[in-house]
Chain A
Amino acid sequence: MTDDELDQRVRASILAEELDTARLEHSIRERIRRPRVARWALATAASIALVIAGGLAYRAFFQPTPLICVAAARDHNYEIVNGAPREWLSDPAAILSLVAQQGVPSTAIAALATIGYRLEGGRLCSLNKQIFLHLTYSKDDLELSVYLRPGGPQSPVDRAVHEASVGTEDLAYFQTDRLTAVFVAEHSPAEALAFARAADRVL
Chain B
Amino acid sequence: MKIHLSVLAILACTCLLLVSPNSFAQQISVEITIPKIKVQPYHKPYVAVWIETRKRQGVHTLAFWHEQKDWFKDVRQWWRKIGRQQKPAYDQVTGATRKPGTYTIKISSKELTALNLSPGEYFLNVEAVREEGGREFIRQKITLGASEIKQYEKSGKHELGKVTISVTP
| A and B associate in one complex | no
